[in-house]
Chain A
């Protein structure tokens, strides 16, 4: 009681009171700003739709008169205008006669990230798509084959 009654003590208690008043305001402003930024930073993820469209575009592009040739399979990357660093596409054509014929494009490690998706929690997971088609494959000899297409899209900066 004696301290508060003295001039120095009074000044000290006033200072503490003002300090906490401003601290509360600063905390409110900081938390609101943080929340607004946290909500704003979320991107609208379109990679799943993009992967489906890429798959359709590639199939339309490499199929000539209902057939896929060995040459068109090897040059499938010419069908899309994609950044090599942001995407990985793997095509596997297989049947009992030809075995497996592969063609790929882009950043290989994205495929590994896709395989780890269920097991490891990733901060920036890629978007992954696997599709299987039954095709007429012309490798000098026309035959029916399966085509497995795997697509992984990174593009984290714009979508995550």
Chain B
């Protein structure tokens, strides 16, 4: 008599296999979510925004009247008002804002990928 038992013929074995597959799917889904989360953070958009805003603010503070600062901002959106610099990686993001303390007059001009800041 042939007594070979496969998981598909053995109800208990099939249940075990099914549970294991479900567990594996859940683990893979969680790990993929985790990888996506780490990837979003490690691409460092938030860090780059912060560094860009702070470095532009420091450059403005260090500049004497009559200076023109040309910044290659790439895909970043940078806006400068009379008190603060804001850098954003994407339109929909709030970005990072950092104040500067100089009392000089600031004029900005945006070209494709380039920001001109005139200090007077």
Question: A: which residues have CB within 8 A of B?
Answer: 18, 21, 25, 28-29, 32-33, 36, 40, 43-44, 46, 49-50, 53-54, 56-57, 60-61, 78-83, 158
Contacts and interface: CB of A to CB of B under 8 A. Distances in A.
B44 to A, nearest CB: 9
Contacts of B98: 158
Nearest to B38: A36
B51 A81 contact: no
B102 A43 contact: no
Given A43-B50, A44-B47, A50-B61, A81 B83 contact: yes
A7 to B, nearest CB: 11
A100 to B, nearest CB: 26
Interface in B63-90: 64, 83
B37 A57 contact: no
Main secondary structure of the interface of A (DSSP, over half): helix
Interface string B18-45: 0000010011001000100110011000
Contacts of A43: 50
Given A50-B58, A81-B102, 10 more contacts: A25-B27, A29-B30, A32-B38, A33-B34, A44-B51, A46-B54, A57-B102, A78-B103, A80-B103, A81-B83
Interface of B: 23, 26-27, 30, 34, 37-38, 41-42, 46-47, 50-51, 54-55, 57-58, 61-62, 64, 83, 98-103
Nearest to B23: A21
Given A32-B34, A57-B61, A81 B47 contact: no
Nearest to B62: A53
21 contacts: A18-B23, A21-B23, A25-B30, A29-B30, A29-B34, A32-B38, A33-B34, A36-B37, A36-B41, A40-B41, A40-B46, A44-B47, A46-B55, A50-B101, A60-B64, A61-B103, A78-B103, A79-B103, A81-B99, A81-B102, A82-B101
A81 B37 contact: no
Contacts of A32: 34, 38
Contacts of B50: 43-44
Contacts of A81: 83, 99-103
